Amino acid sequence: MEAAAAGGGGGGGSTLRILVATDCHLGYLEKDELRRSDSFATFEEIFSVAEKHKVDFVLLGGNLFHENKPSRSTLVKTIEILRRHCLNDRPVQFQVVSDEAASLQNLFGRVNYKDPNINVGLPVFTIHGDHDDPTGVDNLSAIDVLAAAGFVNYFGKVDLGSSGVGQISLHPILITKGATSVALYGLGNVRETRLSTMFQTPGAIHWMIHGSLEDMPTPNWFNIMILHQNRRKAIPDNGINEHLLPHSLDLVIWGHEHECLVDPKEVPDMGFHITQPGSSIATSLTSAEAKQKHVLLLEIRGMKYRSTNIPLKTVRPFEYAEVVLADQEDVDPNDEATVHEHLDKVVGNLIEKNNRKISGGSEPKLPLVRIKVDYSGFSTINRQRFGQKCVGKVANPQEVIVFTRSAKSCQNTQGNTDGSEQIYPNDLDQRTVEALVAESDVKMQILQVNDLHTALHVFVNKDDNMAFHSCLQKNTEEAKNKLTAGSSDFKIEDEEKIVVELDGCMQASAKGGTGSTPRSQNLPSSMALSAFEELKCSSDQVDQDDTGEDSHDELVETSSDDGECHRLARPGKRRVLTMVAAGSASSSASSGCRRRKTDLASYRRVPPAKEEEDGGGAKKGRSPHVAGRYGAVRRNR
């Protein structure tokens, strides 16, 4: 389908106007006194453009925030901008006709402009990216805060689970305006390797329409998909192939990639177009980010659309150049001063080039300048010392130069797709969790490797101290559900008992070494079930013993690992949980007493008897054997 003129004017009629922006990265470099306000200035401009063109709503493609846990300053500035531009009495001229509770991530089950307590004149719809994705025990993100406050409509949030490939049901937001009907699908960032596998697994992703499963949405809906993923075709495992998307789509809005390729391009043999608006602020000083930043004005009428590129004027200027020292006649490999002199000249030319672009208006911003220097055959210079000469002239004096070497001069460089080796910043030898687990030949049966990899990424890159706790809690809960669902006779109600029995079975399995006890942790084995049954019988027996009014303290026998038996007093009317470890029946038969491990978490110690003094005046202390969780333990004096 070719892009066609949508026509229409004003805010009524059947023309749906959408302003699209991606990767705003609010709060980027908020501790830099010079650049801390750049992201907010551009974000404010985006909403000013939306008001100027009287759009129906703003669509954001992920990475609204630069940090997973934005600072209070960043949150306050974001809310201030949204409140200034979104809360007003302007009438909303489109309708959402789908099940809002199925597609929106809020407890109110409706879009924010339908809330009678909030006057929303400019709705905002957004998905999350890889910087502001949900994390933690409750799987929440900073966007959930904005959604709960009623400033944005958050959609595209999915929970894949911890085992298997997972399953996603994409519920569209069905929007109508006059004769125009748009189905807006959204998918927040998912790890590329897993999402790529899901796209290739039949039945893993369901495209929903009108609340029912349909492989092909109805033809009279203009289908838009917005996602936030890598789009690198050169690295199959680290990107999503656009040919994996369904043919039924009409337009795909691609977030995450910062290069501005805003003009929609048709995908061969797929029938839909892809637009990549790019980021609204430069966060990586590469050639792709040196292009002019834009937002996309999308006008849709019926099954036709028109796209208009609107340049952003508040973005800090960025000048980029590449220098090969070996090709410069005025540079001597044996004279470092000539290298400094030549690079000084290049920086000066870039600054002058930027000044010529600016005409009139307010005082121009200091530009960002980046020079990629191929130093093959030369020695590098001190970047910090060179940057000091640029203070007051550029906005990034410490990052002006990056050194690279060509592949020809570096025989050991491997796997470099662009034919060069960048030595700053230094690339670490990174290894994935999957590779480490495969090398160690560890049989992971409760903790999932995918979840461990995600937890490590969140812990390191998002500074989430609860990442591994959330991973453990999630996987343990799923394992517990499998345990309880594995047998119809498994009806123990107390959660603590389940933990005690599971812990005991694992301890017995570890002590048994290469015994016959299997290491499966997915479903309860026959030995584990027998232990649970004995636990239940023991608990029932204790309950029967506790029915008497004058019950005396009962002596409970425990055994330590060295085979010694000890007797511990148990108060009356107290339930004692007993457990027989799987595979220990034969060893207990040869012991002097029945070998039984006792959980003393609920054991109330009886006050020790009054110490008696012997003839020599020495005190007779209590036994050095102290009750531990798995039996008596000898205390070191």
Residue 486 CA, chain-centre distance (Å), reads 31
CA end-to-end distance (rounded Å), the chain: 84
Q: Which two tokens stand for residue 57?
A: 């709503």
- Whether residue 168 contacts residue 132, with contact meaning beta carbons closer than 8 Å, is answered with no
Distance of alpha carbon 554 from the chain centroid:
53
User: How far is the CA of 437 from the CAs of 432, 443, 514, in angstroms?
Assistant: 9, 8, 22
Q: Looking up tokens 């040869």, which residue turns up?
A: 590
Cα 271 to its chain centre, rounded Å, is 31
> Residue 154 contacts by C-beta under 8 Å, 6 or more apart in sequence?
104, 105, 106, 126, 127, 128, 143, 144, 146, 147
Give every strand in the sheet of 153-154, ordered side by side.
153-154, 124-126, 57-60, 16-21, 294-301, 304-311
d(CA 213, CA 200): 18
Q: Phi-psi category of 138—alpha, beta or left, where left has phi over 0 and alpha has psi -120 to 50?
A: alpha
Q: Which of 66, 128, 131, 273 is catalytic?
A: 131
**Long-range pairs, 78-84, Cβ under 8 A, ≥24:** 78/26, 78/40, 78/43, 78/146, 79/146, 79/149, 79/151, 81/40, 81/43, 81/44, 81/47, 82/47, 82/124, 82/146, 82/151, 82/152, 83/151, 84/47
Alpha helices (runs of H) in 167-308, residue ranges in sequence order: 192-200
What does the angle CA 235 – CA 240 – CA 242 come to, to the nearest 5 degrees?
Answer: 115
Catalytic: 131? yes
Q: How large is the angle between the packed helices 526-545 and 495-512, nearest 10 degrees?
A: 130
Other Cβ atoms closer than 10 A to 12: 11
Kind plus residue range of the DSSP H or E element containing 222? strand 222-228
Compute how many other C-beta atoms are within 10 angstroms of the C-beta atom of residue 479: 19
Q: Are strands 57-60 and 124-126 parallel, antiparallel or unpaired?
A: parallel
Cβ-based neighbour number of residue 211 at 10 Å: 11
CA 525-480-441 angle, to 5 degrees, is 70
The residues facing 107 across adjacent strands are: none
Q: Cα–Cα–Cα angle for 466, 470, 473, nearest 5°?
A: 135
Strand partners, 300: 16, 305
Of the candidates 123, 190, 146, which has an alpha carbon nearest to the alpha carbon of residue 26?
146
**Catalytic residue positions, numbered:** 131
